Structure 1
Amino acid sequence: MPSTLNTEMLASAIKTKREKKGLRETAAEIGDISPATLSRVEQGNLPDVETFIKICKWLEVSTDTFVKGDKVANQELSEKEKIVFQLRSSQELDPDSIDAMIAMVDYAFKKVKKDGK
């Protein structure tokens, strides 16, 4: 199976880490990419290799994380991250529903951590 970049998952990961920060602030934090470029990547457009590597470093994940068809894809993500990324990449759910579901996932994982289970 040929490897391709999972741009939906990449976009979701950026949105998740960025949270309420603005595009300008986040682009400056990543370093040497423009807010417009970051916006395009968040919309699912394919970044150039250099930008992709910078974003992965900022996300603190291997570039393999976003490669479809690669056996190591997703191995570095926590269960919570996988759920959140999947929700954010949904084309069927509206943003308010996604935010509400992510809040429930956050609560569930905090409860598990607190209860020690």
Structure 2
Amino acid sequence: MTPEKFDGEGFFAALDAERQSRKLTWKKVAEQAGVPASSLTRISQGRRPDVDTLAALCQWSGLDADNFTRTGSSRDVEASPLAQITVHLRADPNLSKDGVQALEAIIKAAYEQFRKS
């Protein structure tokens, strides 16, 4: 499988459309998203955002980062059940970080125990 490529140009275009729909300056976008304005400048110049900046901008805009990744294959890839469980556990506001880690360890151990060979 070909490694995934991030469509930075597409991401920036979608981000700009969201900025325009909210009638904001890039400075305001940076403030509201909690990212440095220089990061937005770099993205506009075709450089990839770091993961924290990407996450903050996706959260601010409502964009899904998955829409801006592509592979050389047309086959859709789905995350493993363990990865999906981890995402859900970490998104649960009712669990502490230690609680999430404990549950992950329990579930992974049980999964390995009962997984078909």
Give the TM-score, by structure 1 length: 0.54
* SS, match of residue 61 in structure 1: coil
Q: What is the aligned partner in structure 1 of residue 11 from structure 2? A: 10
Q: What is the aligned partner in structure 2 of residue 25 from structure 1? A: 28
Unaligned 5+ residue runs, structure 1?
Answer: 73-117
Unaligned 5+ residue runs, structure 2?
Answer: 78-117
Query: Shift of residue 62 of structure 1?
Result: 2.3
Query: Shift of residue 16 of structure 1?
Result: 0.6
State which of 61, 64, 67 in structure 2 corresponds to 1:62: 64
State which of 31, 38, 61 in structure 1 corresponds to 2:40: 38
For residues 34-74 of structure 1, give each alpha carbon's deviation from its aligned partner in whole angstroms, at most 9, with x where no partner exists: 111112112321111111111111121322111111737xx
State which of 39, 53, 56 in structure 1 corresponds to 2:55: 53
Cα distance in 2 for partners of 1:63, 1:11 equals 11
The amino acid across from 1:63 in the alignment is: A
Instruction: Give yes or no for contact 1:11–1:43 (8 Å, CA) kept in 2.
Output: no
Pair member with larger Rg: 2
Query: Shift of residue 7 of structure 1?
Result: 0.5
Cα distance in 2 for partners of 1:47, 1:59 equals 15
The amino acid across from 1:7 in the alignment is: G
RMSD over equivalenced CA pairs, Å = 1.8
